Amino acid sequence: MARYLGGLLALLFAASICGAVTIPGPVSDAHRSAASELFGDSFSSLEDAYEALRVFEILGVGNKPDVSATTCKQVVENLGSSSPVKDLFYALKVNGILKCKVNADVFKDIAVRLKATVNDASTLVDMYYSIGSLVLIKDQASDVDVLLADADGTFHSIKALSQSDGRWRYSSDNPESSTFAAGLALEALAGVISLASSEIDLSRVNTVKNDILKLFDSIEKYDDGTFYFDEKFVGGREHQGSLYTTSSVVRGLTTFASAISGKINLPGDKILGLAKFFLGIGIPVTLCTSDFFLWCRISIPLVLSLPETVYSLSKKDQLKVRVNTVLGSAAPPLTVKLVRAFRPDAKDSAVFENKELQYDKSNGIHVLEVFPGNVDVGTYVFVFEIVLHDSAGEKVFATGGQIHVPIYVTGIIEVSNAEIAGLDSDLGSVETQKKLDLAGNVVVELSANHLQKLHFSFQLTTPHGHAFKPHQAFFKLKHETNHEHIFVIGNTGKKFEIVLDFLGLVEKFYYLSGRYDIELTVGDAVMENSFLRPLGHVDLELPEAPEKASRLPPLPVDPYSRYGPKAEIAHIFRAPEKRPPQNLSLTFLSLTLLPFIGFLVGLLRLGVNFKNFPSSAAPATYAILFHLGIAAVLFLYVLFWLKLDLFTTLKTVGLLGAFLMFVGHRILSHLASTSSKLKSA
């Protein structure tokens, strides 16, 4: 979403730069849906409404009737009332898109008011809005008189705000100058020229042209040749960013250029750089038509591009170059020249010079049909130049001079004379020597002890028979325990050679005897047959490790395993206790009942009775309540066991206990008194 937002904002600015109405370019549905999502159906202000409608218009998103109706209502309201100049300006802009029904008299009233504002205005922004509004009225209602009586004076009052470096101030009492304001001023000046009743003094126009040139001196630059405008300082006003500033300047410039007669001589590379800036932000390439540049009387940049910058000597394909305008349309008839080619490390000595590329009409590309025979594998810089057939076109198109393109020429490198040999350390005599065919799959088996040496050599030659030095040439020994030792193979002139003296390496090998696998790596960006292949193995007999020998380091952890999935965490739960079979438990439950039954039976046999139960009403009630109380407490205990917590239980027990104490005391003291009466009687 954020990407689209950026793209849309860029689109909006680009839209306001170019006068293009329809775009035959790569505007995708993604742009449209993002625009609809971004702007929605209702707009908070006329400015928002204008921006939204303009984007919809450019993207080809159909207007919804209800949106048009409500916005039109807002427009008419704004035009009718004495709203600020800014609102008038945007109301007129929206009206330009929606073509609302506005009474011609309304335009007349506004025009009169705006003319008064132009004369009174002290700030640049007011001037900009009022002149801009007058221009819009001129377009929308041709019968209204919008011409400025004192155009020269207005021109002068705007020009008075300009600074010596080509930037403008917002008002005469504000010392800060701004690049953004320069864009506004240029647009306003263009408006004044088009509204002038009489011709503006040419010398005034020429001073503005000079201002523009000065403004272009302060243009900022990226390393890749992208140019853009930015505010020099951030203060007071809200900082809007380079896109906002650049689009303001370019919009002002284009409107100004279209209003005046004659050409503004701007440097071609800066125009190209500005185009690059907008394209780099992600505005669809064909958003503007090339009319934009023609109108501006600014050269249309031509872009030279290569479908691929890699040329393979083994495939013998052709080097292709495509030239089109910066807006993606076809270039005029032209010839692409390959001025020269050189290696980046030897800039002065050209490998070849002055080749002309053939134009392939069917594909619209320029082809270097015969690749120069003396170009070997490696990295080169090709210098291209575009030569237009029509010399008049040079005023219309900017070719950008000489274009440097890095080219990789790749090929198959021949590996030859590979030899591996075991040498006796003292005498240097060859013990075993084997020729290796590195292209095949031959593997060698060697054995050596610490008094011997291992010698390995090979040659690399380019297709043209020169010695080739790759980026990487490594010799790797890998012990059975996965301990690796990598050696860089040095080259002596034509030959790559490595001699491993095991006597000096025993420390490095940690006295590990046993089988070492040998692996050879040769690789380079321009080597089409870069390889990594096993050569076989060598059985090393190394002496026993002395006591002081350094310990074997732990094997390095595979760095990729850190990013792999972690081992699954197995949660250990306590195993459930063994439970007895349910039947056994139930049996014992019934067994526990047996003593109770025995108790009851025993009671019966003893002849227990309730004769002592009080017969009179009050004590009997107390007795019953006493027993009920005890039962209630016991029942509460059962509840406590099943679901209640300790606090609830204790509170309830407290209440029940008090009750129980009372009735218990009553009944028991009654019983005691009756028994003592019996005794005394």
Partner 1 sequence: MARSSSKDAQDLFRALWSAYAATPTNLKIIDLYVMFAVFTALIQVVYIALVGSFPFNSFLSGVLSCVGTAVLAVCLRIQVNKENKEFKDLAPERAFADFVLCNLVLHLVIMNFLG
Write out the residues near partner 1 by the rule CB under 8 A: 577-580, 584-585, 588, 591-592, 594-596, 598-599, 602-603, 606-608, 630, 633-634, 637-638, 640-641, 646, 649, 653, 657, 664-665, 668-669, 671-672, 675-676
CB 299 within 8 A of CB 257: no
CB of 510 to partner 1, least distance (A): 57
**202-217 vs 179-195: helix crossing angle, rounded to 10:** 160
| Nearer to partner 1 (CB atom), residue 620 or residue 653 | 653
- The tokens of 557 are what? 């952890």
Integer Cα distance of 182 and 128 in angstroms:
11
284 or 619: whose CB is closer to partner 1?
Answer: 619
**Sequential DSSP letters for 367-410:** EE-S--TT--SEEEEEEEEEEESSTTHHHHEE--SEEEEEEEEE
Q: Any idea what DSSP says for residue 337?
A: E
Cα distance between residue 515 and residue 504, in whole Å: 18
- Distance, CA of 403 to chain centre: 29
Residue nearer to partner 1 on the CB measure, 646 or 681 = 646
Of 150, 113, 143, 147, residue with least CA distance to 130: 113
Task: Using the minimum distance from each CB to partner 1, give the nearer residue, 234 or 586.
Answer: 586
- Nearest approach, Cβ of residue 581 and partner 1 (Å): 9
Give me the residue label for tokens 């185009």: 275
Are 390 and 335 in contact by the 8 Å Cβ rule? The answer is: no
- Least separation in angstroms between residue 569's CB and partner 1 is 29
Q: Which is nearer to partner 1, 378 or 664 (CB)?
A: 664
Q: Cβ distance 498 to 534 under 8 Å?
A: no
Least CB distance from residue 646 to partner 1, whole Å?
6
Give the nearest distance from C-beta 616 to partner 1 in angstroms: 17
Residue 628 Cβ vs partner 1, minimum distance, rounded to whole Å: 13
**Residue 572 or 575 having the CB closest to partner 1:** 575
Residue with tokens 């020229």: 193
DSSP 150-173: THHHHHHHHHTTB-TTS-EESBTT
Minimum CB–partner distance for residue 627 and partner 1 (Å): 10
Which is nearest to 18 in space by CA: 292, 325, 301? Answer: 292
Residue 123 β-bridge partners: 171
Q: Closer to partner 1 by CB, 330 or 642: give it.
A: 642
Cβ closest to partner 1, residue 557 vs residue 681: 681
Q: Are 392 and 417 spatial neighbours (Cβ–Cβ below 8 Å)?
A: no
207 or 669, CB closer to partner 1?
669
Which residue lies nearer to partner 1 by CB, 116 or 586?
Answer: 586
Nearer to partner 1, 197 or 648 (CB): 648
Closer residue to partner 1, CB minimum distance, 531 or 635? 635
Shortest Cβ 617–partner 1 spacing (Å): 20
Please list the residues that pair with 228 across neighbouring strands.
Answer: 220
Look up residue 125 and give its two tokens: 């922004």
Locate 664 and state its tokens. Answer: 């218990």
H or E stretch including 591? helix 582-606
Residue tagged 């218990």 (tokens): 664
CB of 595 to partner 1, least distance (A): 4
Instruction: Yes or no: say if 42 and 306 are a contact pair by the CB < 8 Å rule.
Output: no
Q: Work out how close the CB of 621 gets to partner 1 at its nearest, in angstroms, rounded to a whole number.
A: 18
Cα–Cα dist 462/491, whole Å: 15
Q: What stretch of H or E contains 662?
A: helix 646-680
**Closer residue to partner 1 in complex, CB, 330/646:** 646
In DSSP terms, 484 is beta-bridged to 478
DSSP string of 99-121, one letter each residue: -----HHHHHHHHHHHHHHHHH-
CB of 667 to partner 1, least distance (A): 9
Cβ proximity to partner 1, 551 vs 578, nearer residue: 578
Residue 303's nearest CA partner among 409, 225, 249, 190 is 225
Nearest Cα to Cα of residue 99 among 75, 66, 131, 133:
75
For partner 1, the closer of residues 21 and 594 by Cβ is 594
Residue 447, CA distances (Å) to 441, 485, 487, 488, 513 in order: 20, 17, 19, 22, 11
* C-alpha–C-alpha distance, residues 334 and 381, integer Å: 22
- Contact present, 116 and 82 (Cβ < 8 Å): no
**Which CB sits closer to partner 1, 569 or 591?**
591
Backbone angles phi, psi at 570, to 5 degrees: -95, 115
Q: How far apart are CA 326 and CA 268, in angstroms?
A: 13
Helix 46-59 with 85-98: angle, nearest 10 deg? 30
**What secondary structure, in 3-state letters, does 227-252 show?**
EECCCCCCCCCCCCCHHHHHHHHHHH
